Amino acid sequence: MRRPPGQDGCVGVVGGGYVGLALAAYLVTSGRSVLLVEADAERRHALSRGEMPIYEAGVDSVLSRALREASLVVTGDLGLALDATRMVFITVGTPPGADDLPDLSAVALVVSELRTHAKPGTVVVLKSTVPPGTGRRIAEQLQGPPFRLPVVSCPEFLREGSALRDMHTAARQVIGGDDREAMARVATVVTAPGTPVIMTDTASAELIKYGSNSFLALKISFANELARFADEVGADIVPVVQGMGLDPRIGPEGLRAGLGFGGCCLPKDVRALVGAGGRHSTAFGTLEAALQVNAAQRALFTEEIRRELGGRLNGRRVAVLGLAFKPGTDDVREAPSLDVIRNLLGHGAELTAHDPCAIGKAAPLLPPHVRLTADPYDCLSGADAAAIVTEWPEYLRLDWDRARQVMRHPVLVDGRNCLDPGEIARRGFRYRAVGRPPAQAVCSADRPGAITAARAAPV
């Protein structure tokens, strides 16, 4: 393995999942060597061959090059990493467990190995998302004899789909702990030039992570509730949130109304904070409401499709566009598409579905009679209605004239407010979005070309 100079020129990353791979990519691009420890043999062998188990722009090419140049080595042997490095990042998964709190068994396993194999002076960096108080308990477990390993909390704020960019241009780096020297070493390794660094205690660092994801969820659910009200009073949620977001106290991000939040992080972390609050004596009423609004959003969308089809879904063909929980990823964990499809099938609809890259991950989770198509026009062919569930750029660029020609009825329900209502209506569609005045088909012009994005304005 190529060994850059310096105490932390080579670091260990334990867990080859999303966070571990994105972190490894960041570390090698900033000139370090990485020993990536992955316990799952199949995943490990695939990784060693340069096959990435995740779809994330840039990460695969960076890691493939690092493997060739030997600045990345994949191993199943944590002992090897602990011999070769003095800084080890824990990036194993913390999936939802009992009582909505995360299952920390994978973290516990790594900690027990660290107790046996770690060398004096090794800094343990906790990057997996864990409830406040976890880092402190791990630090107690890693206190001698014969020595004490400093534990530093360094939560992750990257977004799927833009992981590498987010790491190089992070809004902040959060470092928690009580060993200033260890914290400074971690900050040097993970912080891109110019990124503000918050140094704090471990529990506060852990709470910054939960507080941030939960606040994003609150914003999204509030935008969605406001969109429902906009529908009732005849307002348009797109300029409404644009106007709100320009206030720096509010900010433009996380205000896009639509099908709500999914993925492996926001829903899980909000539930975990509610659960952790319940274990103490804090009732997070706002977060419980955000979860309710989010769940209802998916049911309301199905209802909207039913209404647009004259109140009957039984035997009607609906084309679902988008399966991933958001564009730029093949991740379908807690994706709105899964609930929307379940609801539509429950009402007797016949379904086709398309996604530019998540079909492989979605297929095992869907009933076999949902016809999955590699081509969006094939998906739309013969449909009574199209439902946009994920705002992939491919759908903005679709030839909607051709789409209208292949569909049985030109009805389009946009769960992400990603098309321009006026323009799509001019192409002969009946268009319904979330919190926007309905657009009726105004003509059936045969104008070629792509529909412009409704979000051309910065929201």
Annotated catalytic residues are 265
- Asked if 273 is part of the footprint of ligand UGA (rule: CB under 6 A), the reply reads no
**Near ligand UGA by CB under 6 A: residue from 62, 88, 125, 266:** 266
- Asked if 328 is part of the footprint of ligand UGA (rule: CB under 6 A), the reply reads no
Min CB(41)–ligand UGA separation in Å? 26
Tokens standing for 165? 């960019």
Return d(Cα 16, Cα 40) in angstroms, integer. 9
Return d(Cα 359, Cα 59) in angstroms, integer. 20
**Near ligand UGA by CB under 6 A: residue from 132, 263, 322, 428:** 263
Tokens standing for 106? 């994978």
Tokens standing for 65? 């090059």
Return d(Cα 196, Cα 32) in angstroms, integer. 21
**Near ligand UGA by CB under 6 A: residue from 254, 356, 410, 421:** 254
Among the listed residues 186, 123, 177, 178, the one whose alpha carbon sits nearest the alpha carbon of residue 149: 123
Min CB(407)–ligand UGA separation in Å? 25
Instruction: Report how many residues bind ligand UGA under the rule CB under 6 A.
Output: 20
Return d(Cα 275, Cα 270) in angstroms, integer. 9
Return d(Cα 101, Cα 131) in angstroms, integer. 8
Query: CB under 6 A: which stretch of 29-37, 250-258, 315-323, 428-436 binds ligand UGA?
Result: 250-258
Return d(Cα 459, Cα 457) in angstroms, integer. 6
Residues 148-187 that bind ligand UGA (CB under 6 A): 156-160
Min CB(397)–ligand UGA separation in Å? 19
Query: CB under 6 A: which stretch of 87-95, 109-117, 188-196, 260-268 binds ligand UGA?
Result: 260-268
- Asked if 261 is part of the footprint of ligand UGA (rule: CB under 6 A), the reply reads yes
Min CB(389)–ligand UGA separation in Å? 10
- Asked if 412 is part of the footprint of ligand UGA (rule: CB under 6 A), the reply reads no
Give yes or no for a contact between 158 and 91, defined as CB atoms under 8 angstroms apart. Answer: no
**Near ligand UGA by CB under 6 A: residue from 16, 262, 376, 415:** 262
Give yes or no for a contact between 390 and 418, defined as CB atoms under 8 angstroms apart. Answer: no
Tokens standing for 60? 């695969």
Min CB(269)–ligand UGA separation in Å? 6
Query: Given the complex with ligand UGA, which of 327 and 421 has the nearer CB atom?
Result: 327
**Near ligand UGA by CB under 6 A: residue from 85, 213, 214, 337:** 213
- Asked if 132 is part of the footprint of ligand UGA (rule: CB under 6 A), the reply reads no
Among the listed residues 274, 275, 176, 159, the one whose alpha carbon sits nearest the alpha carbon of residue 218: 274
Tokens standing for 437? 């005045």
Give kind and range of the element (H or E) at residue 75.
strand 72-75
Strand, coil or helix: 286: helix
Min CB(212)–ligand UGA separation in Å? 6
Residues near ligand UGA, by CB under 6 A? 156-160, 213, 216, 220, 254-256, 258, 260-263, 265-266, 325-326
